[in-house]
Chain A
Amino acid sequence: MRSIVLTKGVPDFSEGAVSFDEDGHLERGKTPTVMNPNDHFALRAALQTRVRHGGHVSGMSMGPPSYSSVLEEAMGEIYSDDSYLLSDRELAASDTWATAITLSAAIEKYQEEVTDVDLVFAGFKTADGETGHTGPQTAWCLEWPIVTHVIALDIDPDERVLRAKRLVEGDVDEIETVEAPLPCFVVTDPEFEPTYRKAAHRLEHKRLRAATEERVEDFDDHLTTWDHEDLRLDSEYIGLDGSPTIVSSVDPIPKAPSEREATMIDPGDSGGMEQVLEELQPYAGGD
């Protein structure tokens, strides 16, 4: 199986990592980039596929050069063989639509120049954008089937189909089993749990981990960067110009104003405490 894993960098929102300017705005430049938390689950599905069926896995990300750190993290985690970074000033400020166009162009270029692809994996929503659009839009551009909310995955390489369990959220959670032909786009759910019930799979996992430890050391040798010209993309369709989404404005979420008045009482003051008890009496009930 040959797969591409799409992963994205997001500001590190963990304690102490985030930088704000004087006005309380996020300083992206100063805030370190980490892998989008949900992508970790997508990666597990790609790793499971790689372990069970062998083949090749590439990590792919679109973003500033600093995102290579995310691809490096991905390599450590899913033992990807190589990484592709789509990076270019012209690509900056892309919305999900322009991102999908860029990603699909890159996947097509990859198919032409590197190898055929059976599966593309993506995580569920990003921690900063929260739209969940990029995956489906990219699949649409590629004209591939897409399976989302995947919690378990099995692939039949001979029949060239995948069977997946999807978590369908409604009033009650339902699990749906679907089948799709390859190549296919897979969006994994955070509930995805890889299973390795064969010794051979676990040994392969261990072998891949050891091989990756060495590869990660020379990460840059396994990184390819493509800009919009490499992808033969017209700048009209990408970046800010190619982004039809208009964010009309970003409002800070106002703090709910308190409507009640507060009286401060010193618990040491017996008169004050008496007052508290009096106030509470109507709510005490049973009296």
Chain B
Amino acid sequence: MSETRTDGGSEDYEHYEAVVVGCGPGGAAAAARLAEHGIETLVLERGVEAGSKNVSGGLIYAEDSAPYTIDDLFPDFREEAAERPVTDYHIHNIDGRQVTTYDLTDLHEHDTDWCDAVLRRTMDSWLEQRVHEKTSETGGGVLTGVRVNGLLRENGEIVGVTCDELDPIRADYIVAADGVNSELARAADLMDWDEPDEWFQGVKAVVDMDADVINDRFSIEEGEGVAHLFSGDLFEDVRGGGFLYTNEDTLSIGTVFHLDSLVAEEAEPHELLDALLTHPLLAQWFDGEYNELEYSAKLVPDSKKVAHREPYADNLVLVGDAGGQMQAQGPIIKGMNHAVTAGALAADAYALTRGNADPEAAGRRYTTMLEQSGTMGKLRPRRYELTSTVGEHDLVTKAVEGVLNSPVGSIAVGNPIAKRLLPKAYNSPFLVGMLPDTSMAYTTLPSLIGEKHGRTVHWENEIEPPSLEERIGDLTYNTDVGNPHILLQDESFEASGAAVYACPVSAEDFGGGCYRAETVKTNGSEEKLVSLDTQPCVECGTCAIVADTEWTHPRGEKGVEYKQG
């Protein structure tokens, strides 16, 4: 109350040596490592608890080649915060009822020390506790329910952050680990949300199942877990795939699609998820029972295109999804592990340059460390860069696709030699890394494989997934009444209509979602307009890209609260 804001002079503001925004894996790693260096660190997280805003598939990898893994920083992580380790890994190539299954364990185990399934509410809230303990020792701590809404600048230079719930805070070092829709990365002009082809959209259902039943139906023992991936024609022409991972006593089942493809196909994300859930192949695991605990969604950056090569501005660095550091290695998704690595490196970079008068010293060092540790090389594979820059990429793809679609091509895939070669190719990190982002990789090839080599699935899948309305109804919201966090800038259908389909909690002809289209008659002419109600919003970020909006996160503790994630 006594704090007075004097014009421009921010001497009165609180000061912390480091401020970390976001307490996901990236923020947690950065903060823990900063505290280990004895640096006073304040962590600001907008959720009621860390994890309450987060979604992942999610398999967290500990790569042999990574400079930091999550259990390096948090030794009890696997016992305390993770679900089951993945001991079995399969991909199913689907063509209608024809399915060819490949064992992908080799690919999965390439460069992998261990890999566990996680649920983000459990995982992140556990991390939050550890991070709070660590950072408290050096004079900081974790505060939840605080949304950072911008950067504090002095003479144009970044010197701190501004928040909804707190007075501005000055900091010598700012780590933006605020995830895929990073408001800080945008405020610093480092990232934008412009092109749908730079992003994926992930949608997920957490399904209740007793541990014993899981062991039984997936033929595993306690302490074992499986991962199943799905590709082929079950999503029609939308480019992407599905996954199923076993947790302690739940299943994580979801889909990840290229956002541009979702938009182009006018596909409804929840229907694509349902296409997976109701496929005959899944009947073997459900046995007619289906109890969905939570429906969730979030954008995923495609590091090949958006991982920032120099993720810093002044004393601000970007870590994890905020810097686009989410690697889709073919069907394997690696975001959390890279966020951990980047967070820890960002902390080390600051410790090494502490006291340097140049505010960008740490950012430059961090960039070098990302390169030298090989992290940037994984995020932006050179092979991909080379092919895509010459524009050859598309050509190659088109050619391959043409061949595959031709009678000759399909015969080739159906060839007995191909039957032996294809599983090998799928398990090659090199080849999988080369898979172009076209329907060739996602649909044509897998469905051909399914068709040529597949066995017919005879099970009947009789489960009925909940409707969108029921899914929304089951979520917990703390609505910020009268204070919508997303504003529609252009309500014409041309500008914002894509959100009616692509928003995971909206659908055409569904009045209870966020986006609705309606035809309005004005002076004899008809116009199709879009309207927005943010109440059911799950804060996935899709409409920041596909519609013309002014997009922000809700205030601290407001909005959706995931219990599983």
Check if A and B associate: yes
Cβ of B143 under 8 Å from chain A: yes
Cβ of B169 under 8 Å from chain A: yes
Contact of A197 among B42, B132, B166 (CB under 8 A): B166
Cβ of A198 under 8 Å from chain B: yes
Interface pair A207/B136, CB less than 8 Å apart: yes
CA distance A154 to B4 in the complex (A): 13
Interface pair A198/B136, CB less than 8 Å apart: no
In the complex, which residue of chain B has the Cβ closest to the Cβ of A163?
A: B1
If A206-B141, A206-B143 touch, does A199 touch B169 (CB 8 Å cutoff)? Answer: yes
If A203-B143, A206-B141 touch, does A197 touch B165 (CB 8 Å cutoff)? Answer: yes
Interface pair B1/A203, CB less than 8 Å apart: no
B469 surroundings in chain A (CB, below 8 A): none
Q: Which B residues, 223 to 276, have Cβ-Cβ distances below 8 Å to chain A?
A: none
If A199-B16, A199-B42 touch, does A154 touch B2 (CB 8 Å cutoff)? Answer: yes
Cβ of B167 under 8 Å from chain A: yes
Cβ of B289 under 8 Å from chain A: no
Contact of B166 among A154, A156, A202, A207 (CB under 8 A): A202
Interface pair B3/A203, CB less than 8 Å apart: no
Cβ of A168 under 8 Å from chain B: no
Cβ of B140 under 8 Å from chain A: yes
Interface pair A197/B167, CB less than 8 Å apart: yes
Cβ of A141 under 8 Å from chain B: no
The 0/1 profile, CB within 8 Å of A marked 1, for residues 139-163 of chain B is: 0110100100000000000000000
If A202-B166, A203-B140, A206-B143 touch, does A197 touch B3 (CB 8 Å cutoff)? Answer: yes
Q: Which A residues, 154 to 197, have Cβ-Cβ distances below 8 Å to chain B?
A: 154, 156, 195, 197
Cβ of A276 under 8 Å from chain B: no
Interface pair B14/A198, CB less than 8 Å apart: yes
B146 surroundings in chain A (CB, below 8 A): 199, 202
In the complex, which residue of chain B has the Cβ closest to the Cβ of A153?
A: B1
Interface pair A203/B14, CB less than 8 Å apart: no
If A197-B165, A197-B167, A207-B136 touch, does A154 touch B14 (CB 8 Å cutoff)? Answer: no
Contact of A198 among B44, B132, B140, B167 (CB under 8 A): B167
The 0/1 profile, CB within 8 Å of B marked 1, for residues 192-224 of chain A is: 000101111011001100000000000000000
| A1 to B: closest C-beta gap in Å | 14
If A197-B166, A198-B166, A198-B167 touch, does A156 touch B136 (CB 8 Å cutoff)? Answer: no
Cβ of A34 under 8 Å from chain B: no
CA distance A207 to B167 in the complex (A): 20
Residue of A154, A195, A199, A207 contacting most chain B CB atoms (<10 Å)? A199
| A246 to B: closest C-beta gap in Å | 45
Interface pair B1/A154, CB less than 8 Å apart: yes
In the complex, which residue of chain A has the Cβ closest to the Cβ of B168?
A: A197
Interface pair A199/B143, CB less than 8 Å apart: yes
Contact of B1 among A152, A202, A207 (CB under 8 A): A152
Interface pair B2/A156, CB less than 8 Å apart: yes
CA distance A154 to B2 in the complex (A): 7
Interface pair B165/A203, CB less than 8 Å apart: no
Interface pair B2/A199, CB less than 8 Å apart: no
A203 surroundings in chain B (CB, below 8 A): 42, 136, 140-141, 143
| B141 to A: closest C-beta gap in Å | 4
A199 surroundings in chain B (CB, below 8 A): 14, 16, 42, 44, 143, 146, 166, 169
A207 surroundings in chain B (CB, below 8 A): 136, 141
| A154 to B: closest C-beta gap in Å | 4
Contact of B14 among A152, A200, A206 (CB under 8 A): A200
Interface pair B166/A195, CB less than 8 Å apart: no
In the complex, which residue of chain B has the Cβ closest to the Cβ of A154?
A: B1
CA distance A202 to B169 in the complex (A): 13
The 0/1 profile, CB within 8 Å of B marked 1, for residues 129-161 of chain A is: 000000000000000000000001010100000
The 0/1 profile, CB within 8 Å of A marked 1, for residues 26-58 of chain B is: 000000000000000010100000000000000
CA distance A198 to B15 in the complex (A): 10
B14 surroundings in chain A (CB, below 8 A): 198-200
CA distance A203 to B169 in the complex (A): 14
| B178 to A: closest C-beta gap in Å | 16
CA distance A203 to B166 in the complex (A): 12
CA distance A199 to B136 in the complex (A): 13
A154 surroundings in chain B (CB, below 8 A): 1-2
In the complex, which residue of chain A has the Cβ closest to the Cβ of B143?
A: A202
| A153 to B: closest C-beta gap in Å | 8
A197 surroundings in chain B (CB, below 8 A): 3, 165-167
A206 surroundings in chain B (CB, below 8 A): 132, 141, 143
A202 surroundings in chain B (CB, below 8 A): 143, 146, 166
| A44 to B: closest C-beta gap in Å | 15
CA distance A202 to B16 in the complex (A): 14
Residue of A152, A154, A156, A202 contacting most chain B CB atoms (<10 Å)? A202
CA distance A199 to B148 in the complex (A): 12
CA distance A148 to B374 in the complex (A): 65
| A28 to B: closest C-beta gap in Å | 39
| A192 to B: closest C-beta gap in Å | 13
B169 surroundings in chain A (CB, below 8 A): 199
The 0/1 profile, CB within 8 Å of A marked 1, for residues 158-190 of chain B is: 000000011101000000000000000000000
CA distance A207 to B143 in the complex (A): 11
A200 surroundings in chain B (CB, below 8 A): 14
Q: Which A residues, 41 to 81, have Cβ-Cβ distances below 8 Å to chain B?
A: none
A to B CB contacts below 8 Å, 7 in the list: A152-B1, A197-B165, A198-B14, A199-B146, A200-B14, A203-B42, A207-B141
Given A197-B166, A200-B14, 5 additional A-B pairs, CB 8 A: A154-B2, A197-B3, A202-B143, A202-B166, A203-B143
The list of the 6 closest CB pairs from A to B, nearest first, reads: A154-B1, A203-B141, A197-B167, A202-B143, A197-B166, A199-B42
The chain A residues found within 8 Å of chain B, CB to CB, are 152, 154, 156, 195, 197-200, 202-203, 206-207
